Amino acid sequence: MKIFDALNFGIQYLKSHVSEPRLEAEGLLSFALGVEREYIIVNRDKEISEDIFERYKGLLDLRISGMPYQYIVGKKHFMGLIFKVSPKVLIPRNDTEILVEEVLKRLKKSDVVLDIGTGSGAIAVSIAKYKDVKVYALDISDDALSVARDNAYENGVLDKIVFLKSDLFSSVPKDVKFDVIVSNPPYIRSGDIDKLQEEVKKEPKIALDGGEDGLLFYRNIVRDSKGYIKRGGIIAFEVGYDEAFDVSQILLDGGYGDIEIVKDLQGIDRVVLGKWLGP
Ligand code: GLN
């Protein structure tokens, strides 16, 4: 079978299941072949072996079963960088780039940044890559920390990030103070987890479940940030589609002010920032 025919087969196979069947068929076929996408685009008339076709068909079946594309190929582009992902970490979302951009805008040289619930490390690694700062990256999951460390290494910023296994602030040294605390915590209401898309259900529940009202981690992070945030320091949160108001209130009640809300690519309030007004 020629690459051209295999691609058309894949597109037909995926058509009623995914929104970008051509892109995904190309990606899965190049993954099965162990080549870059460009190769299959310029070699449409090359023959592929029966073995490769079977492998490709296996990947298409996995995809149709609801496995996210990024878990199958094991990577996701974020902030112009490539991140390894596995089902042990949430797949970085394009909207989360807005959170990173808002943080980058506000950082000064030598600032110290804390990323709570780093997951794949997408936020921490991007910040370390684009600014001359030191980053502490926390996660409660050893598996996530291992993925995040790999991503820091692959992107050349391992020496700028301290990774800590930590339940929120539990392992953060008491004498370290932060200019910016950033987090994309789990924020889906527990009762809504069952209603998520099949693909999202393949992602770690621990990275999604924000407790009964979805706001548990915002409350706990704001409460525990005292003693760790510098005077004038900033908290930057990603929030769920209807949570910006409640999260702003949590920040205000917790001694933060100068609240700013930034919309995502779809016009939904997605990032909430507050400045620490205490000592
Ligand atoms: N943005 C994720 C979603 O779309 C949720 C991520 C989170 O809970 N932080 O499902």
| Residue 221 φ/ψ, nearest 5 degrees | -65, -45
The 10s digit of each residue's pLDDT in 177-231 is: 999 999 999 999 999 999 999 999 999 999 999 999 999 999 999 999 999 999 9
* Integer Cα distance of 93 and 270 in angstroms: 12
Q: What is the mean pLDDT of the chain?
A: 97
Q: Determine the pLDDT at residue 76.
A: 97
Is residue 78 situated within a structural domain?
A: no
Domain at 33, CATH number: 1.10.8
CA-based torsion, 104, 107, 108, 113: positive or negative? negative
Are 162 and 155 contacting, i.e. CB atoms less than 8 angstroms apart?
A: no
Residues 202 and 102 in one domain: yes
Residues 111 and 158 in one domain: yes
Say whether 186 counts as a known binding-site residue: yes
* Integer Cα distance of 40 and 148 in angstroms: 31
The widest CA-to-CA distance across the chain, in whole angstroms, is: 69
Residue range(s) defining the domain that contains residue 164: 86-276
Residues 99 and 38 in one domain: no
pTM: 0.95
Q: Pick the last residue of a domain from 34, 65, 96.
A: 65
CA-based torsion, 91, 96, 99, 104: positive or negative? positive
Residues 14 and 102 in one domain: no
How remote is the CA of residue 187 from the centroid of ligand 1, in Å?
A: 7
Residues 241 and 138 in one domain: yes
The 10s digit of each residue's pLDDT in 40-55 is: 999 999 999 999 999 9
The 10s digit of each residue's pLDDT in 133-178 is: 999 999 999 999 999 999 999 999 999 999 999 999 999 999 999 9
Strand segments, DSSP code E, in 125-277 are: 134-139, 161-165, 178-183, 229-238, 256-263, 269-276
Q: How far is CA 204 from CA 71, 80, 268, in A?
A: 12, 24, 24
Residues 225 and 97 in one domain: yes
Domain at 190, CATH number: 3.40.50.150
CA 190 to mean position of chain CA atoms:
20
Q: Determine the pLDDT at residue 136.
A: 98
Q: Pick the last residue of a domain from 65, 97, 116.
A: 65
Task: Determine the residue of 70, 78, 93, 241 to mutate for testing ligand 1's pocket, defined as the one with the most ligand atoms within 8 A of the Cβ atom.
Answer: 93
Token pair 């209401």: residue: 189
Ligand 1 interacting residues, C-beta cut-off 6 A:
90, 93, 184-188, 200, 208
Residues 99 and 60 in one domain: no
Instruction: Please count the structural domains in the chain.
Output: 2
Q: Determine the pLDDT at residue 97.
A: 98
Residues 105 and 158 in one domain: yes
* Integer Cα distance of 143 and 183 in angstroms: 18
Residues 150 and 272 in one domain: yes
Residues 137 and 207 in one domain: yes
Is residue 203 situated within a structural domain?
A: yes
**Which atom of ligand 1 lies nearest, measured to the CA of 187?**
8
Q: Determine the pLDDT at residue 163.
A: 98
Say whether 8 counts as a known binding-site residue: no
Residues 14 and 111 in one domain: no
How remote is the CA of residue 207 from the centroid of ligand 1, in Å?
A: 8
How remote is the CA of residue 91 from the centroid of ligand 1, in Å?
A: 9
**Which atom of ligand 1 lies nearest, measured to the CA of 117?**
9
Residues with Cβ within 8 Å of residue 128, at least 6 apart in sequence? 135, 152, 157, 160, 161
Residues 208 and 150 in one domain: yes
Is residue 70 situated within a structural domain?
A: no
